[in-house]
């Protein structure tokens, strides 16, 4: 990623840079505080969703997407809405380009992101500062604040602006520009690479780093998992993450569909999805919350998760891969577990029920991810096109699914050099080691990982692929 030109925010502003170039740097990364912080943040998002006091059939309502957000996150939600609603319409794919993956029109879309990212980030920071005294507002007043911030974020993404003038490095304004420059770098990497014309779990992780950085500068609270205090849903990271990922996926799915971006680091059929990982984890946590809600209201639910020191019959089998218990391959099993009083099935095999996917995909993130896969791969049976997701659907509780997906995110995303070698680090998301060499002037043209001696090695293969 070339952020040297795109993240300029003023004179003397620190520019985030790469720190991972070879396996030595990779070892430093996996032992670093930043690595632990990123993994803990993703875990906290899931825990926040799982333990939230949900009502009715979930905690996210597509008709009220701002309900659990802070002013800063409402502004970001508005910007993401503009990016998905108007940018794609205004920058159609290049129909003259004869390419299977990577329509060159994406470069124009990404250039717009770079051009407008300063206004987007500054707007959400202004919304946070200007409404910090209204944190206790409730009811119509709070709804009005959030709607106003949403509209401002939408306008910031729609406005054509120029880069700010250089400022004295010692001025208070320049301190804000330092923060904006770092946040912009993470935001630029959240939607794909304009040279390689690809998108994958590394870019998705950059969006999580962006959210983590917003949390660290105070735009919202990590919640009980971070502060040790009891936090309301509007202060934590759980339910806001559902709302923001719905918005974020609206953008990235549009990019994947319209510009046919190359899947970056995809494991093919032996991966969850060509592009994403974390939405499946958050979606599984949301389904765990629904399981908990079923128990509270007295509905029949899936059987309790086995204690950690006990193994179920499924878990005692030889694992097909190291993150999830093995299950029978082949045709989907019958929908037999976790039915509510209305007869609807709510266990992990709900993904085999097209009626339920159509009815609830706008509310439940996991179902939304499955439905999108089926929309873009309509010709192949699901158990052939996505065997790993099909295997996961045979588990008996969502708690097993969510815990396995978190382990998979650590093992197959942030612990793999082809995925994280393009991460950049600044003063908020900080690298605590000295990199093996200086950052190259240009990003590598492919996803092949450097060995450090000028040669390359192939991307890592999924450990469960035979």
pLDDT at 294 over 70: yes
Please give the pLDDT value at position 456.
Answer: 39
Backbone angles phi, psi at 58, to 5 degrees: 145, -175
| pLDDT at residue 5, as a whole number | 37
pLDDT for residue 281: 96
Q: What is the pLDDT of residue 178?
A: 93
pLDDT at site 65: 80
Higher local confidence (pLDDT), 318 or 399: 399
Asked if residue 397 has pLDDT above 50, the reply is yes
pLDDT at 338: 47
Q: Indicate whether 29 pLDDT > 70.
A: yes
Per-residue model confidence (pLDDT) at position 444: 46
Lowest mean pLDDT among 75-89, 313-327, 418-432: 313-327
* pLDDT tens digits along 197-214: 999 999 999 999 999 999
Report which of residues 50 and 228 the model is more confident about: 50
Mean pLDDT confidence for 338-342 = 47
What pLDDT score does 387 carry? 87
Residue 298 pLDDT: 62
- Per-residue model confidence as pLDDT tens digits over 204-255: 999 999 999 999 999 987 654 333 443 333 346 777 888 899 999 999 999 9
The pLDDT of residue 395? 92
Predicted confidence at residue 238, as pLDDT, reads 74
pLDDT-derived band of residue 58, with 50, 70 and 90 as boundaries? low
What does the mean pLDDT of the chain come to?
78
Query: pLDDT-derived band of residue 163, with 50, 70 and 90 as boundaries?
Result: low
Check whether 403 has a pLDDT greater than 60.
Answer: yes
Pick the more confident residue, 447 or 392.
392
What mean pLDDT is predicted for residues 297-321? 43
Per-residue confidence (pLDDT) for residue 268, from 0 to 100: 62
Domains of the chain, first to last: 3-159+176-285+419-438 (no CATH), 289-410 (1.20.120)
Mean of pLDDT values over 325-344: 42
Residue with the bigger pLDDT between 305 and 425: it is 425
pLDDT of residue 337: 43
User: Tell me, what's the pLDDT at 36?
Assistant: 96
Q: What percent of the chain has pLDDT over 70?
A: 69
- Average pLDDT, integer, range 158-184: 72
pLDDT at 167 over 90: no
Tens of pLDDT, residues 81-138: 999 989 999 999 998 887 778 899 999 999 999 999 999 999 999 999 998 766 556 6
* pLDDT score recorded for residue 339: 52
Neighbours of 380 (CB within 10 A): 11
pLDDT in the model for residue 272: 81
pLDDT value for 62: 65
**Which one is predicted more confidently, 283 or 322?**
283
Contact (Cβ atoms closer than 8 angstroms) between residue 181 and residue 151: no
pLDDT tens column, 422-438: 999 999 999 999 999 87
Total-model pTM: 0.81
pLDDT recorded at residue 35: 97
The highest-confidence range among 60-64, 134-138, 139-143, by mean pLDDT, is 139-143
């Amino acid at each position: 990623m070339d952020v040297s030109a795109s993240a300029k925010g003023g004179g003397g502003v620190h520019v985030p840079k790469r720190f991972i170039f070879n396996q030595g740097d990779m070892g430093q990364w996996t032992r670093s505080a930043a690595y632990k912080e990123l993994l803990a943040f993703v875990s906290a998002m899931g825990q926040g969703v799982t333990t939230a006091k949900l009502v009715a059939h979930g905690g996210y309502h597509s008709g009220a997407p701002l309900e659990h957000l802070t002013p800063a996150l409402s502004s970001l939600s508005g910007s993401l809405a503009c990016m998905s609603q108007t940018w794609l319409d205004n920058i159609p794919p290049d129909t003259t380009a004869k390419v299977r993956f990577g329509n060159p029109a994406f470069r124009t879309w990404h250039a717009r992101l770079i051009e407008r990212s300063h206004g987007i980030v500054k707007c959400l920071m202004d919304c946070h500062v200007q409404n910090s005294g209204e944190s206790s507002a409730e009811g119509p007043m709070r709804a009005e604040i959030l709607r106003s911030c949403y509209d401002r974020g939408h306008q910031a993404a729609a406005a054509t602006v120029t880069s700010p003038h250089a400022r004295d490095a010692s001025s208070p304004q320049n301190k804000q520009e330092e923060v904006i420059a770092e946040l912009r770098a993470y935001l630029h990497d959240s939607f794909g690479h304009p040279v390689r014309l690809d998108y994958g779990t590394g870019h998705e992780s950059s969006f999580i780093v962006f959210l983590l950085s917003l949390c660290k500068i105070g735009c919202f609270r990590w919640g009980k998992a971070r502060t040790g205090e009891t936090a309301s849903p509007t202060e934590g990271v759980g339910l806001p993450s559902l709302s923001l990922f719905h918005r974020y996926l609206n953008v990235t799915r549009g990019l994947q569909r319209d510009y046919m971006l190359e899947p970056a680091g995809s494991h093919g059929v032996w991966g969850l999805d060509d592009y994403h990982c974390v939405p499946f984890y958050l979606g599984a946590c949301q389904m765990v919350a629904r399981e908990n809600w079923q128990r509270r209201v007295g509905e029949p639910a899936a059987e309790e998760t086995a204690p950690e020191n006990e193994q179920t019959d499924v878990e005692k089998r030889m694992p097909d891969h190291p993150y999830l218990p093995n299950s029978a391959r082949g045709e989907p099993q019958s929908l037999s577990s976790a039915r509510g009083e209305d007869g609807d099935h709510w266990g992990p095999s709900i993904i085999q029920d097209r009626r339920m996917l159509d009815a609830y995909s706008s509310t439940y993130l996991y179902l939304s991810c499955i439905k999108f896969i089926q929309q873009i791969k309509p010709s192949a049976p699901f158990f052939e096109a996505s065997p790993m997701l099909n295997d996961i659907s045979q588990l008996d509780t969502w708690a097993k699914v969510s815990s396995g997906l978190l382990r998979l995110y650590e093992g197959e995303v942030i612990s793999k050099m082809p995925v994280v070698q393009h991460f950049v680090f600044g003063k908020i998301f900080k690298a605590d080691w000295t990199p093996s060499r200086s950052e190259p002037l240009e990003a590598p043209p492919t996803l092949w990982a450097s060995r450090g001696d000028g040669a390359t090695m192939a991307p890592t293969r999924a450990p469960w692929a035979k």
